[in-house]
Chains A and B, each alone.
Chain A
Amino acid sequence: MTLTYPIESNAVHPAHLSPAYRSSIKRAPQKPLIPMRHTLSELTGPVYGHETVRESDNDLTTQHAGEPLGERIIVHGHVLDEDGRGVPNTLVEIWQANACGRYIHVVDQHPAPLDPNFTGAGRTQSNSEGYYRFVTVKPGAYPWGNHQNAWRPAHIHFSVFGHAFISRLVTQMYFPGDPLFEFDPIFNSVPDEKARLRMVSSFDLESTQPEWALCYRFNIVLRGRNATPMETK
């Protein structure tokens, strides 16, 4: 399969400079990015990493002696290309705060408790159809210093590879109906509302496990289109 990576697909991403997100002000380039034709260097990408994945790495609730506190959830979905085809055997990495909104990272000083039974990191490999699945706990919202009384909506960080180095995506998955959406400059850095809503998972009643866990579905669409145009009927 030969894929192309139209540059227009990048239009959905946030601008590098998004002043409401203060940290972007000194970390955004001011000179124009230089366009270039994709060469083999851009069109290939790593096809490994999954040998590191242990079978239990997609279950963030079983990494310690006891179970973490919080609302147990299943997060699953497909990694897709822009034509809706599953992206098989690709590495999906996640990291998140615990149920109290606290990260295990040493820099996180939010005065909420750490959970000795929760690291908050997971990874898996999509299957032959692009499907992936994690078991975790719902992360809490947490305060940050961007502006007075700033709080991040609950989110899970996702890192995905895809077919090429230029299909690489790092994003955040949000939960439906979060009242913090309208106040969050990171969520709102994506200018188009429809595109913004693609970062919000949907509640998946059908895949909940009765008496055990709620379920959210999050499909991730990476760059990449079939190089052969579809025949018009």
Chain B
Amino acid sequence: MQGTKVQGVTPSQTVGPFFKYGLTPDGKYDWNDAFTNNLITPDTSGERIHLEGRVFDGDGQPIPDAMLEIWQADAQGRFNDPKDNRALPNSAFRGFGRCGTDPNGDYAFDSIKPGSVPDPAGRPQAPHILLAVFARGMLMHLYTRIYFGGEAANATDPVLALVPQDRRATLIASREPGNGTAVYRLDIRLQGDNETVFFDI
């Protein structure tokens, strides 16, 4: 197929309402998960985090049939992908997770806090996780980023700087009070007053 003439990319279509048995069976269907919402492996180094939230539509109703996918660097800021040629990650951390929302629209991931990744100009970015949101009613997934509340580097992050000040909070997960594993919370709003910032990438 080398050099096959192509006329353009294949268009996106909605993931629809019935993806769960194929993409997020989670023990409820006779099919095993390719990916889960737990990114932690026994040899993963870094600060453990529990990331949770709820996905809402434009009426403020929770969305029970959304699918979230995250992609992130390891604690040293390196991606488990040969295209990141700076150095090999120091663990088997894969950096990708998938979670279907439950009947209340809730999602959760267990992971580690990523390290800093440089931008194309070599400037450090604040720790962040990429998030893709899919759902019935969404003809194409949306991309956003999850930043961490209380992180000093947020103030100088080159991507956050592109976002109007009054909308930045929609990208920053709040640190929930409590001891033990750090719990961060971020709700995703597809539409409305506090609509999540999505990126045109």
Binding site for B on A (CB under 8 A): 5, 7, 9-10, 12-16, 18, 21, 23-49, 52-53, 63, 78, 80, 82-86, 91, 93-95, 97, 103-105, 107-108, 119-123, 129-131, 157, 159, 163-166, 168-172, 186-187, 189-190, 194-196, 198-199, 219-223
Contacts and interface: CB of A to CB of B under 8 A. Distances in A.
A97 B16 CA distance: 12
Given A29-B191, A85-B2, A85-B3, A170 B134 contact: yes
A84 B130 contact: no
Interface of B: 1-23, 25, 29-35, 57-59, 61, 63, 65, 69, 71-73, 79-84, 94-96, 117-120, 125, 128, 130, 132, 134-143, 145, 159, 162-163, 167, 190-192, 195-201
Given A29-B191, A93-B34, A108 B18 contact: yes
Given A159-B23, A220-B10, A36 B139 contact: no
A23 B159 CA distance: 31
A53 B12 CA distance: 24
Given A29-B190, A86-B1, 20 more contacts: A16-B139, A21-B139, A23-B136, A30-B58, A31-B195, A33-B198, A34-B200, A35-B201, A40-B117, A42-B201, A46-B71, A46-B80, A84-B2, A95-B18, A130-B1, A157-B19, A170-B14, A170-B134, A172-B16, A222-B10
Nearest to B94: A48
A18 B138 CA distance: 9
Contacts of A40: 79, 84, 117-118
Most chain B beta carbons < 10 A, residue from A53, A83, A121: A121
Nearest to B167: A31
Contacts of A94: 22
B32 A27 contact: no
Given A15-B139, A46-B81, A190-B11, A95 B163 contact: no
A105 B12 contact: no
A52 B6 contact: no
Nearest to A14: B139
A33 B162 CA distance: 11
Contacts of A18: 139
Contacts of A108: 17-18
For the complex of A and B, the 5 pairs showing the least CB-CB separation, nearest first, are A95-B22, A23-B137, A46-B96, A84-B4, A33-B200
A171 B199 contact: no
Given A23-B137, A107-B17, A157-B15, A47 B82 contact: yes
B164 to A, nearest CB: 9
